[in-house]
């Protein structure tokens, strides 16, 4: 299956809100509510920040929220902070036990 499509980069000023899109097709995002989002700082391991489209794991800031419409999942970061500068990846279940990832989005805090 093809990778999910994410914008290469998104930027915002401190305090602003930004949204990262993750576009796929009916076969993964459209069919299943099994989308996760990961945050990866340089030199670190990816950390899950959203599970099952919109669920925040324990300990993850409420400033992170997820949603889905049709074949596109979205991650919104509200009240942008310097520490949010990182790479973000989406991942969806794609049927037959498989997963598909997005290409990643670099978030820059201006």
Q: Which of 73, 86, 104, 107 binds other proteins (CB under 8 A)?
A: 104
Shortest spacing between CB 23 and other proteins, in angstroms = 13
Shortest spacing between CB 51 and other proteins, in angstroms = 6
Q: Which stretch binds other proteins (CB under 8 A): 2-10, 11-19, 61-69, 71-79?
A: 2-10
Q: Any contact of residue 101 with other proteins (CB under 8 A)? A: yes
Size of the site for other proteins (CB under 8 A): 27
State the Cα angle at 51 between 48 and 53, rounded to 5°: 130
The sign of the CA dihedral 108, 24, 98, 36 is positive
CA distance 94 to 110: 35
Query: 98 by DSSP, 3-state: which?
Result: coil
């Amino acid at each position: 299956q093809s990778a999910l499509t994410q914008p290469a980069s998104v930027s915002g000023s401190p305090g602003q809100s930004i949204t990262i899109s993750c576009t796929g097709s009916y076969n993964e995002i459209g069919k299943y509510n099994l989308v996760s989002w990961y945050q990866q700082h340089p030199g670190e391991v990816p950390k899950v920040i959203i599970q099952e489209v919109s669920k925040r794991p324990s300990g993850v800031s409420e400033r992170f929220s997820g949603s889905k419409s049709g074949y596109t999942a979205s991650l919104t970061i509200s009240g942008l902070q310097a520490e949010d500068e990182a790479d973000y990846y989406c991942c969806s279940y794609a049927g037959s036990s498989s997963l598909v990832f997005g290409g990643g989005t670099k978030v820059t805090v201006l």
